[in-house]
Structure 1
């Protein structure tokens, strides 16, 4: 990954609501593009009070605290866990990378034929029980994510399927990773959303899948998990007494389980210190509120619409999925949902790159309801009145999503579009708790809506989302793919020339549209309501947080 290219390793964000409702009564918050801005009220540590409690919200208590495992692969979980776990790189607002020296003194590409990467671990780095972080922790995680043992229910392979071996370097504080195939995004293997876990979690399938169901007993960050109150819906983090870096300014972080539709009101009522905003109404409600500021920087998060193409499903036919996708007016969705939130609302037209990112281009099939109707006719879905039938079966599809007002508005717009070509869409809302584990992973949907978030490593998400591999679901919940698409993904991951990799990634993107895999909808405008006295926190854009410097001004 070269500096300036952003987004990647996709993780689910069930509770994040990224678009706004219709309206034209307030000015857009800004027109900066992704990778140009960060709005966190930056201040040096000397300006920050020692102590204090940061109050945040989440839709649910994590069902698994291992973000590498399929049940733990949720953006809301990652937002909490990043306070507590190691990552190899920090990023700035432009997506530029620097080694995270709290954990690694150096990370270097030390060979190209074969590709070799050497990680030198900070000699001060320890887990929260005082035991050292060693090369064996990296080796265990690499093995778990390699895909060699399908009992590890991984959320992503992250290039470890291309690793030949992980060896001890000059001492226990150095890991040498040798690849048997080139891997373009090698910097993202213990970075971004792919955090390093201790070998006690990753060494065998049982501990990988089940040992973190009820919390995170062993961590390695400025904060650690103090308590979980499941009945009261409260998570508390406190300072890690074994932390060797700068002392955190905050004493504690309290994360409250709260329905997404109530976050803005909670900020207004001084019950939360910061929250992601979704709608024009959110902005109106918080603008002018004493001691609350609107922070804005475009985020690498976006709304996503996925088809279920598993064998036996009503949408198993790729031609049917493509026809339906052409009937959805994504521009109307953008203009309706983001009017008043961004200067020129438009849909996201790539699965791989975000607008403002080097490599972004429109690879979509376009909005063409007339073509959609003709393709449905050709497939034998004959229109009779307001509906279509084939072999006596009516074409009805269920749209399943986390119960949120904004998602409902989007579903109704899609429902209207599909109704015009005789396709009936029913809306099936579910609670946030165990939404992915119990509903989406098993494939209990015809189409579904959720949000995706990324980090600064664009290519390692390609097999995770779009690859179709036996007994390896990762995040391809619709079970859609092909050998041709797998081959394109493989070529992209193997290409070490940045421009050639971008060209191949755009071929992947076009193929994803052509297979009717999914549709990107809206890119996040990045509005947060934040307590004005809170520093070094807000809308980070592509930048990573310094969790030791977050706090309240003196």
Structure 2
């Protein structure tokens, strides 16, 4: 079983987003639904006795992993996560309601053993658990991962230090199979730590962390391991791990193929894929009408957004300019256009931390509510004057470059924004990129003004996103692609993460979210509709919602 709770995965949009491409068909019979999170999912559940022995689960990636280290800034994508999740240990697994339980394949017990004078969590490792090279999983693997991720050494190019920066030490317990983690500061979402565990070979030095899993995953410890990487065919194959000690998986293989989003529906129709996320009413309808295929739908913790680049020297460095631009983005029209026919009463997501239907969710977006007239007046007051069709200030034109994955739905979104910005004298230049290189070449180095992308993860542990995405640390931006924040916001984030009372943590999290909106760090678009096409004989796989897949129980019906 796998969990996606360690860090927020930056998704290449087609993978895990609900930004739905326009394709309104009057003859559509697709049933729409709510995007609010629920305690149900759609995976065609069956006992393993109903499944065939063997089989190959064929899935799609939008890009080849830049790194197989999901903890590294380059490997912090949904594609990497999809590949490595069946191959590595985790601490907890979630059910459809987002309730967490210890994954006993890897840990016999994980307990919060003290809260005073310091928070202490004790991890007892399953004595059968071994890495694929035969070496035991020990407390040293946890200690090494903490040392890599705690943020004290910037040579480790980490995606996030969230939670690990609260830890004071990791020590050996009663034996090598027990780790005692002592915190220097309380951390409310401690269950998210070590949510995906790499061997110490990956984390023992900055060079290892940055390079050991760059092109492959040499050592793993799940029911599957990476058995073949074919960069010519853009294909990755997972096979049984001969050292696996748990329930034997029903599948023989899991095969990932890199496909352009336009190829996923034809691949489903031609029986070249067994399951894929469907983006757009036309694609959903096409999949639904394919013999042997059904639509499985469950709301999921994946979102789409528009980030602003507020780095020093950037044209959007001034928060007041960002606020004006944010007010000129008609999020309601965008979401209604692209989720029409897929979601009942589509509406924008109005919180950076919580998902609609989740405890804690509230609308904090009023500070940048859509208002073209106000946006224009604010730019006037800031000295951006109209010269022809475009505003200028100090000889600089107000031209913004908007980068995104090369997909029609993202481009169509940008065109809606482009039309509204034009009305207030702002020129938007649309730039697309293939999945490979979108983050490493454009977004991560800050080579953009606006960026459209998606976030996948969080789920049952939503507060982890705060440290990774919104903390202001010019020495280590981690997942803060916008390079926007403040010491004041940092203080509230620290208070939120240190709060062990869930109700008080929610209050603090929403205070932080109000500050994030006021900073115009990014504007949220919509929550993913969670619409998947799957073969009707594929069991225990599909639209998981908040739940964690159990790869040992996935298979095809007899």
Determine the C-alpha separation between the residues in 2 that align with 1:499 and 1:72: 34
Determine the C-alpha separation between the residues in 1 that align with 2:399 and 2:311: 16
User: Corresponding residue for 1:445?
Assistant: 448
Q: Deviations over 1:354-402 (max 9, x none)?
A: 1010000000021111111111011101123422111222100000111
The SS at the match of 2:325 is: helix
User: Corresponding residue for 2:364?
Assistant: 363
Determine the C-alpha separation between the residues in 2 that align with 1:101 and 1:111: 22
User: Corresponding residue for 2:329?
Assistant: 328
The partner residue of 1:488 within 492, 515, 525 is 492
User: Corresponding residue for 1:21?
Assistant: 21
Change (3 A) 1:519 1:8: farther
Q: CA deviation at 1:64?
A: 0.6
The SS at the match of 2:495 is: helix
The SS at the match of 1:545 is: coil
The SS at the match of 2:359 is: coil
The SS at the match of 1:105 is: strand
Q: Is the 8 A contact 2:6 2:193 kept in 1?
A: no
The SS at the match of 1:389 is: strand
Q: CA deviation at 1:459?
A: 1.1
Change (3 A) 1:517 1:32: closer
Moved over 4 A (4+): none
Q: Is the 8 A contact 2:67 2:74 kept in 1?
A: yes
Q: Is the 8 A contact 1:21 1:339 kept in 2?
A: no
Determine the C-alpha separation between the residues in 2 that align with 1:156 and 1:32: 28
User: Corresponding residue for 1:186?
Assistant: 190
* Structure 1 segments unaligned to the other structure (5+ residues): 1-5
Q: CA deviation at 1:434?
A: 2.2
Q: Deviations over 1:424-466 (max 9, x none)?
A: 1010001111221122111110110111011321112101100
* Structure 2 segments unaligned to the other structure (5+ residues): none
Q: Deviations over 1:57-102 (max 9, x none)?
A: 1012211101101010001210111010111001011100010000
User: Corresponding residue for 1:3?
Assistant: none
The partner residue of 1:536 within 540, 544, 555 is 540
Determine the C-alpha separation between the residues in 2 that align with 1:140 and 1:7: 19
The SS at the match of 2:111 is: strand
Q: TM-score, normalised by structure 1?
A: 0.97
Q: Is the 8 A contact 1:304 1:450 kept in 2?
A: yes
Q: Is the 8 A contact 2:306 2:525 kept in 1?
A: yes
User: Corresponding residue for 2:110?
Assistant: 107
Determine the C-alpha separation between the residues in 1 that align with 2:294 and 2:129: 36
Q: Is the 8 A contact 1:35 1:95 kept in 2?
A: no
Determine the C-alpha separation between the residues in 1 that align with 2:18 and 2:269: 19
User: Corresponding residue for 2:243?
Assistant: 242
Are residue 143 (structure 1) and residue 144 (structure 2) matched? no
Determine the C-alpha separation between the residues in 1 that align with 2:348 and 2:419: 18
User: Corresponding residue for 1:353?
Assistant: 354
Q: CA deviation at 1:28?
A: 3.5
Determine the C-alpha separation between the residues in 1 that align with 2:342 and 2:25: 9
The partner residue of 1:526 within 530, 538, 554 is 530
Q: Is the 8 A contact 1:301 1:524 kept in 2?
A: yes
Superposed, 1:227-376 pairs within 5 Å as 227-364=228-365, 365=367, 366-376=369-379
Moved more, 538-547 or 469-478: 469-478
Q: Is the 8 A contact 2:10 2:454 kept in 1?
A: yes
The SS at the match of 1:82 is: helix
User: Corresponding residue for 1:12?
Assistant: 10
The SS at the match of 1:220 is: coil
Q: Is the 8 A contact 1:8 1:461 kept in 2?
A: no
The SS at the match of 2:74 is: helix
Are residue 383 (structure 1) and residue 381 (structure 2) matched? no
Q: Deviations over 1:334-358 (max 9, x none)?
A: 1100000001100010101010100
Determine the C-alpha separation between the residues in 2 that align with 1:478 and 1:30: 33
Q: CA deviation at 1:470?
A: 3.1
The SS at the match of 1:487 is: helix
Determine the C-alpha separation between the residues in 2 that align with 1:383 and 1:280: 40
Determine the C-alpha separation between the residues in 2 that align with 1:24 and 1:371: 36
Q: Is the 8 A contact 1:535 1:553 kept in 2?
A: yes
Superposed, 1:539-550 pairs within 5 Å as 539-550=543-554
User: Corresponding residue for 1:479?
Assistant: 483
Q: CA deviation at 1:21?
A: 2.7
Q: How well do the aligned residues superpose, as a CA RMSD in angstroms?
A: 1.3
Determine the C-alpha separation between the residues in 2 that align with 1:327 and 1:40: 40
Are residue 406 (structure 1) and residue 409 (structure 2) matched? yes
Determine the C-alpha separation between the residues in 2 that align with 1:413 and 1:28: 26
Q: Deviations over 1:132-185 (max 9, x none)?
A: 000000000011111111111110112111111100000000000000100010
Q: Is the 8 A contact 1:9 1:458 kept in 2?
A: no
The SS at the match of 2:229 is: strand
Q: Is the 8 A contact 2:42 2:298 kept in 1?
A: yes
User: Corresponding residue for 2:129?
Assistant: 125
Are residue 205 (structure 1) and residue 206 (structure 2) matched? yes
